[in-house]
Amino acid sequence: MKRRIVAFMLIACMLFTLAACGGGSSSGSSSAPAAPAAPAAPSGGGAAAAPTYTWKFASQSNDEVLMAHIAREISDEILKRTNGDFKLEVYTNASLGSDREIAEGVQAGLIDVGQVTYAVLANFCPALGVTGLPYLLPDWDTVFKYMDSEIMDYQAGELEKAGFISLGGLCYGFRQCTNNVRPITKIDDFVGIKFRVMQSDLYIDTFQALGAYPVGMAKAEVITALQQNTIDGQENPMEINYSEGMAEVQKYVSKTSHVSAFMGYVCNPDSYNKLPDEYKQILKDVFNEFRMKASKQYSEEEEMYAQKLVEAGMQYNEVAPEEIAKMRAVCVEKVWPKYQDAYKDQLAIINKL
């Protein structure tokens, strides 16, 4: 509790300081928000009017990854469609906090809209934990069907009960294992390897079922833990494995595709309700368009990042379908029963996909 209070105080102080400096832009600062495209000056040469609405849009993502680029494109598109009247200031690199702190900031109204992984949002809205079930969605075709199903409406309703307005969810790839012990080619290869996983009971249960030794750990601690041999490996989508420099500290990357990684865009209800209806619709339309665009781009680039990891010196292997089937069978037997009751409504929809 003390840590959350301190986090809120730090975020509040940061936002107050940024506001006093004119919205937080500061040349040369890596933590400053990326500036959206400036609105065009009105005809006649006069200066452009200041936006009526200026929001803070927070992301934990590294400034160079696709998710950060998408955030800036969303900001530019909303500015364009509102003729410069609605501006989203984009804060990347966890400059306004970790995923959990962003979610808490959105709930408290310190942040207007945030990009947060489902694994973290599930702490506030348990229904979103469903995509963490291992081997739930087997391939990209099923992922896209899932994203276009009534589950999105169901989850939006659950998020509203938890104090958020949902602006949609997207898949940023399947999670893959890296480690320094051995390639993962079959379920027995997991045995004894210490994997960092997200601080989630579901992820811990999954890796225990596979025979590994899971260690719940914050993302910021992973590289140091690998360098000090506190852990042997970790798991993340291919792009993150590459952008976080795993090739510098890991030998093997194995395409286990054990979880489809999702994140959501969540908005503060008070901020949302102050918008005119026209701008509410623009906000929803733009986020919906870009969540689909981002997911399709991730599906197309997954193998490209695997090749980049190979070029950077890692040994890469795809796990044979029959071995994936064995891993899935173990997880369905040992992990799913613990969570099925909590997700029964969504699983009934998913089974139809």
Question: pLDDT per residue over 252-307, tens digit each?
Answer: 999 999 999 999 999 999 999 999 999 999 999 999 999 999 999 999 999 999 99
Q: What is the DSSP letter of 228?
A: T
Q: Are residues 274 and 340 in the same domain?
A: no
Sheet holding 113-117, edge to edge: 86-91, 53-59, 113-117, 260-267, 165-174
pLDDT of amino acid 49: 82
Pair 73, 150 in one domain: yes
Same domain, 216 and 273: no
Is 180 found in the same domain as 97? no
Write the burial class of residue 4 (CB in 10 Å: 0-12 exposed, 13-18 middle, 19+ buried). exposed
Contacts (Cβ under 8 Å, ≥6 apart) of 322: none
Domain count, the chain: 2
Whether residue 132 sits in one domain with residue 92: yes
Average pLDDT taken over every residue of the chain: 88
User: Do 101 and 156 reside in the same domain of the chain?
Assistant: yes
CATH (domain of 84): 3.40.190.170
Q: What pLDDT sits at residue 243?
A: 92
Assess if residue 44 is contained within a domain.
no
Are residues 99 and 71 part of one domain?
A: yes
* CA-based nearest residue to 8, from 101, 103, 121: 101
Residues 278 and 340 reside in one and the same domain: no
Look at residue 43 and tell me if it is in a domain. Answer: no
Is the domain of 60 the same as that of 93?
yes
- Domain assignment of residue 61, given as a range: 2-19+52-172+262-301
- pTM, entire model: 0.81
DSSP 329: H
